[in-house]
Chain A
């Protein structure tokens, strides 16, 4: 009768134990990492600490907000849902990039419009400068100064003629 080597049996048991063991919560992605929390936090500003993104703000208020992000992530909320929750709770001013509606549209329209207008004005100015330079330059007939070239041209003209 064929007998299984003992080390193979041990290996099989170990494999079974590993496969059947409960997977830790962290491995399931239920416990969000600091990086995951900060990825959302850096897109938010709390009204208490103006101009400091939530991911680096050291105040207690901001710590509480980051904890809320962590809880929402753990509950399976998406980034957009979390941001929307913060907007509903604390207003649109918490967003690092304002939503593209209402007067906020100016933020998105004006800079490219100003850039295009500037480029157009620059182009027109350069074009008018160029035209002015061309008009200002006197047309000087080319006079060969080199006696050798003069002789060469004279010879060519004679041959053509």
Chain B
């Protein structure tokens, strides 16, 4: 003999089932968001051959430079900070490299990371840097490149793909020349 479930009991189970479904949905959703965040946090910098993320650098001279507008040229992007001692070691040789390549279709950009404007300007003046430099407003550019610190240098080929990365400082002018020539020779 079978026992019939009263209709009222069946309808009272419905909100309970929806509640359980909702709780599981929320729990899995939160775990998904956490997992995605962890995955992003542990990703390294963008890889060689990857498309370089779009960004606009507002320079200390209020000029706006969009990376997308620099297609067809090799772009050297150097992340630095005035409080970063290794950055100081390469600052002067970057200016020398810029002077060598500025008429050869190579663009140099400096991105000041987590820096204060006064100290950043003083740093640029101290090392006589004349190529475009600007602050990384909202740390958006360094986040897009997934940098881990400063100094870091990214060389972009004329097609907008990453061609070379240097985590840490360049020790000599020749190292920069070799890196740039390697990309120009593609």
The answer to whether A46 touches B114 (Cβ under 8 A) is: yes
| Binary contact track A52-71/B, C-beta < 8 Å → 1, others 0 | 00000001110011011000
The answer to whether A90 touches B139 (Cβ under 8 A) is: yes
Chain B contact residue count (CB 8 A cutoff): 17
Which listed residue (B23, B33, B83, B135) contacts A60, Cβ 8 A? B83
What's the least CB distance linking B97 to chain A, in Å? 26
The answer to whether B135 touches A89 (Cβ under 8 A) is: yes
Q: State A59–B82 Cα separation when bound (angstroms).
A: 12
Which listed residue (B33, B81, B114, B143) contacts A103, Cβ 8 A? B33
Taking A59-B83, A91-B140, A106-B30 as contacts, is the C-beta distance between A47 and B114 under 8 angstroms? yes
The binding surface of chain A is classed by DSSP as: helix
> Does B138 reach chain A (CB closer than 8 Å)?
yes
> Does B137 reach chain A (CB closer than 8 Å)?
yes
The answer to whether B114 touches A61 (Cβ under 8 A) is: yes
The answer to whether B114 touches A48 (Cβ under 8 A) is: yes
Which listed residue (B30, B81, B137, B139) contacts A110, Cβ 8 A? B30
The answer to whether A88 touches B137 (Cβ under 8 A) is: yes
What's the least CB distance linking A99 to chain B, in Å? 13
A residues in contact with B143, CB < 8 Å: 91
> Does B181 reach chain A (CB closer than 8 Å)?
no
> Does A117 reach chain B (CB closer than 8 Å)?
yes
Which listed residue (A46, A67, A89) contacts B137, Cβ 8 A? A89
Taking A89-B135, A90-B138 as contacts, is the C-beta distance between A65 and B30 under 8 angstroms? no
What's the least CB distance linking A38 to chain B, in Å? 17
The answer to whether B30 touches A61 (Cβ under 8 A) is: no
| Binary contact track B95-135/A, C-beta < 8 Å → 1, others 0 | 00000000000000000001110010000000000000001
Q: State A60–B37 Cα separation when bound (angstroms).
A: 29
B residues in contact with A93, CB < 8 Å: 139
Interface residues of B in 113-170 (CB under 8 A from A): 114-116, 119, 135, 137-140, 143, 149
Listed in ascending order, the chain B residues whose CB lies under 8 Å from chain A are 23, 30, 33, 81-83, 114-116, 119, 135, 137-140, 143, 149
Listed in ascending order, the chain A residues whose CB lies under 8 Å from chain B are 46-48, 59-61, 64-65, 67-68, 87-93, 103, 106, 110, 117
